[in-house]
Amino acid sequence: MARVVILGAGISGHTAALHLQRQLKNKAEIIVVTPNSNWNWIPSNIWVGVGKMTKDQVTFPLAPIYKRKHIGFRQAKAVAIHPEGSPDNPQGFVDIVYTDPTRSGQEEQLTYDYLIVATGPKLNFAATPGLGPDGNSWSVCTAGHAEQSAAALETIIEALKAGERKTLVIGVGHGTCTCEGAAFEYTFNVEHELRERGVRELADVVYLSNEYDLGDLGVGGMTFAQNGFETSSKMWTESLFRERGVRAILRAHVEKVDPGVIHYEELDGSKHTLDFDFAMLLPPFRGVDMKAYANNGDDITDDLFAPNGFLRVDADYAAKPFEEWTPEDWPKTYQCPRYANVFGVGIAFAPPHAISEPRKSPNGTVISPAPPRTGMPSGVMGRTVALSIAERIRRGDQAPLRTASMAAMGAACIASAGTGLRKGSAAAITMYPIIPDRKRFPGSGRDLTQTSGEIGLSGHWTKLLLHYLFIYKAKARFGWFMIPE
Amino acid sequence: MSDVDRSIAEAPLPTAGTLRRRKNLFYQVTRFVAFNFRMMKMVTRAHH
Ligand SMILES: Cc1cc2nc3c(=O)[nH]c(=O)nc-3n(C[C@H](O)[C@H](O)[C@H](O)COP(=O)(O)OP(=O)(O)OC[C@H]3O[C@@H](n4cnc5c(N)ncnc54)[C@H](O)[C@@H]3O)c2cc1C
C-alpha cells in the first residue's frame, strides 16, 4: 500500500491529510508528522492576544481526529529528508525526532512514496536581537504567545487606568517580515480594547512596519473601485489610521529591541529609537531547520531548499529585476523539480520573489515585505496537492498534476479591527489575482471588479463565522469537505 | 510630524453617515450577504 507522509499539521498540511484520506480511504497509508499535539486556527490568535478568546477556543487536540479518520499521527518534528533513500533501498525517507512527551527525543526513519512538506515558517526571532517573548517584545504567532501578549496588555491597561501615559508599539520586527496584515489587525484590536476600557486618551498607539506605504500588506498594495473612483489601499488604510488616531512608522527595519527601546533603521538609511511600554512585533519567517541528504550521504540541503530555508518547487527562481517579474514565475503544481514525489505547500514552499517592490536602504539593508501566503491559498494548495497525489496513486505516475497558482487564485482577507457582535468591525478585503498580472489587468495588475475593500461590523461577523467554520472543518465533522478552503 | 503621519492627517475622514452605516445592523446584514457571496465566488473559482 502506498504511503503518503505529510510534514506539518497546520492549515495546508492538515487540509492535505483530510483530503487524501477522503480520496483514498484504505488505498493508502497517510501519516502526519507534526511537533504540536494541537491544531491552531492562527487567525483567531489576534483575539486571544487581547483577551477576548482563550487558547482553548482557538486550538484542539489532533490525535482524536486522526484516530477517527484512520490517519497515522507522529507527534514529532522532521529533521532530515532522504529523497533518494539509502544505498540499499531507493525509497525516500525522513528522519523524525519525537516531541511526544511519552517518547520525547526518540528517533525514527519514516519511508514514504509521496512526501508533502507543509512545515510552515520558523519564527525567526533570532534575526533581531531582543525580539520576541524570550526577549523584550511580545508575539501573537502562536496561541501561547498570544496569551502572554494578553497578560502584558492587561498590565498596561491597569497602569493606564491608574493615570499613567503609555506607548504601545505594534508591527513587524525586521525589514524582511511578512504577515503585515496580522500586525495591522492586532493594532486595531488593541486600539479598540483601549477604547472599550476607557483608557484610550492616555495611550499612544504606534504601528511600525517595513511596508513602503500603509495598505501595502506585502502584496504591493491594492486598488479598489469605490463610489466611481479608483481608490488606493494606501488612502483607504490611512483613513482608518486617521479615524482611530493611530500613528505609523513605515519603511523601517528593526535592528534590535532593548528593554523599552526599539532601535530601527529607515529606508533613507537614518537610524532612530522609539521608547515603548508594550511592543508586539512579529518575527521574520524562514523555513524550518531541515536537512536533505543524497543516498551516498552527501548534504543536498542547498539543492532541495532555497537559502531562506523554504522548499524549492516548480517556480522560476532565476533572479530578475522587479520590472521583469511575471505571474508565470509562481509555482503551479508545488512539485519539487528534482524529486517528483516531493511537494511543498503553504508557507513552506519557496516563493520565486516578493510581490511588493523590493527596496534597500543606502546601507544595504533590505526593507520590504516578503510575500504573504495566507490561509486561503495555503488550504487550496494543500487540497490541490492531495488531489494530485491521490490521482497518481490511483492511476499511476503519469496522471497529470492539478494546478493552483497564486497568479490564478484570489484571496479574501478579513482584518479584524475590534471584536463585539454589535461593536466589532473589520476591514474585509478580496483581491484577484493574488499575484498582480499587469498584462491582463493594466494598471494595478488586479481585476477591479473582484478586488474590493470595505470596513464595517459585517466584516467582524464574517471573521467570526470563518473561525467557527474552519474549526468545524478541521475537526473533520460531518460534511467538512463541503466547506471550501 | 513625519511624512507618514502628515499623509495620514490628510487622508479622508469617514462622514458621520458612513460611520453610522458601518454599525447599522440592517445595512450590515446586506453587506454581510454581499461580501460572503463575493467571497464564495472567488473560492469556487480557486477550486477548479
Ligand atoms: C497572528 C497571525 C494571524 C493571521 N491571520 C490570518 C488571517 O486572518 N487570514 C489568513 O488567511 N491568514 C492569516 N494568517 C496566516 C496563516 O496563519 C498562514 O497562512 C497559515 O497558517 C499557513 O499555513 P501553513 O500550513 O503553511 O503553516 P502553519 O499553519 O504554520 O503550519 C505549519 C505546521 O508545521 C509544523 N511543523 C513545524 N516544523 C516542523 C517539522 N520540522 N516537522 C514537522 N512539522 C513541523 C507546525 O507545528 C505546524 O503544525 C495569520 C498568521 C498569523 C501569524
Q: What confidence score (pLDDT) does residue A98 get?
A: 98
Tell me the backbone φ, ψ of residue A149, rounded to 5 degrees: -60, -40
Give the Å distance between the CA of A11 and the centre of ligand 1: 6
Q: What digits encode the pLDDT tens for the residues A341-379?
A: 999 999 999 999 999 999 999 999 999 999 999 999 999
Identify all chain A residues contacting B37, using CB atoms and an 8 Å cutoff: none
Residue A262 lies in a domain: no
Q: What digits encode the pLDDT tens for the residues A151-210?
A: 999 999 999 999 999 999 999 999 999 999 999 999 999 999 999 999 999 999 999 999
Nearest CB to B46; choose among A238, A404, A455: A404
Q: How confident is the model at residue A410 (pLDDT cuts 50, 70, 90)?
A: very high
DSSP state of A405: -
Atom number, ligand 1, closest to the C-alpha of residue A282: 53
Q: How far is A424 from chain B (nearest CA, A)?
A: 8
Q: Record the cell numbers describing residue A149, joined without a space.
A: 501578549
- How many structural domains comprise chain B? 1
Nearest CB to A425; choose among B12, B22, B45: B22
* CA distance linking residue A264 with residue A273, whole number of Å: 6
Residue B9 lies in a domain: no
Q: What confidence score (pLDDT) does residue A26 get?
A: 86
Q: What confidence score (pLDDT) does residue A227 get?
A: 83
The alpha carbon of A121 is separated from its chain's Cα centroid by a whole number of angstroms, namely 7
Tell me the backbone φ, ψ of residue A414, rounded to 5 degrees: -110, 110
Contact B23 A411 (CB under 8 A): no
Give the Å distance between the CA of A228 and the centre of ligand 1: 38
Q: What confidence score (pLDDT) does residue A376 get?
A: 92
For residue A422, give Cα distances in angstroms to A146, A360, B14, B23, B24: 24, 44, 19, 7, 9
Whether the CB of A238 is below 8 Å from some CB of chain B: the reply is yes
Residue A334, domain extent: 2-123+285-404
Comparing CA positions, the residue from A88, A3, A98, A8 lying closest to residue A378 is: A8
Atom number, ligand 1, closest to the C-alpha of residue A414: 8
Query: Bridge-partner residues for A60, per DSSP?
Result: A39
pTM exceeds 0.95:
yes
Question: What ipTM, to 2 d.p.?
Answer: 0.95
Give me the helix-helix angle, B25-46 and A457-474, nearest 10°. 40
For residue B2, give Cα distances in angstroms to A165, A216, A449: 22, 19, 35
CB pairs under 8 A between A and B: 93
Choose the residue to mutate in A139, A374, A376, A469 for probing ligand 1, maximizing ligand atoms within 8 Å of C-beta.
A374
The helix/strand/coil state of A115 is strand
Nearest CB to B39; choose among A383, A412, A456: A412
Ligand 1 cavity residues, CB under 6 Å: A 7-13, 33-36, 42-43, 45-46, 77-78, 118-120, 140-141, 179, 182, 288, 290, 346-348, 373-376, 378, 413
Comparing CA positions, the residue from A70, A109, A71, A116 lying closest to residue A91 is: A109
Choose the residue to mutate in A5, A6, A11 for probing ligand 1, maximizing ligand atoms within 8 Å of C-beta.
A11
Residue B8 lies in a domain: no
Residue B35 lies in a domain: yes
Instruction: Read off the CATH number of the domain in which A108 is found.
Output: 3.50.50.100
Q: Record the cell numbers describing residue A117, joined without a space.
A: 512538506
Atom number, ligand 1, closest to the C-alpha of residue A347: 26
Comparing CA positions, the residue from A51, A46, A53, A61 lying closest to residue A14 is: A61
DSSP state letters, A310-363: PBP-SS------GGG--GGGS-SS-B-SS-TTEEE-GGGBPPSS-SSPP-B-TT
CA–CA–CA angle A51, A54, A60 (5° rounding): 155
Residue B42, domain extent: 15-48
For residue A20, give Cα distances in angstroms to A110, A143, A340, A382, A389: 18, 27, 18, 10, 8
The helix/strand/coil state of A111 is strand
Q: In this structure, which residue's CA is closest to atom 31 in ligand 1?
A: A10
Query: Bridge-partner residues for A431, per DSSP?
Result: A411
Q: What confidence score (pLDDT) does residue B46 get?
A: 62
Nearest CB to A454; choose among B5, B31, B36: B31
Comparing CA positions, the residue from A219, A217, A257 lying closest to residue A237 is: A217
Q: Record the cell numbers describing residue A58, joined without a space.
A: 482557538
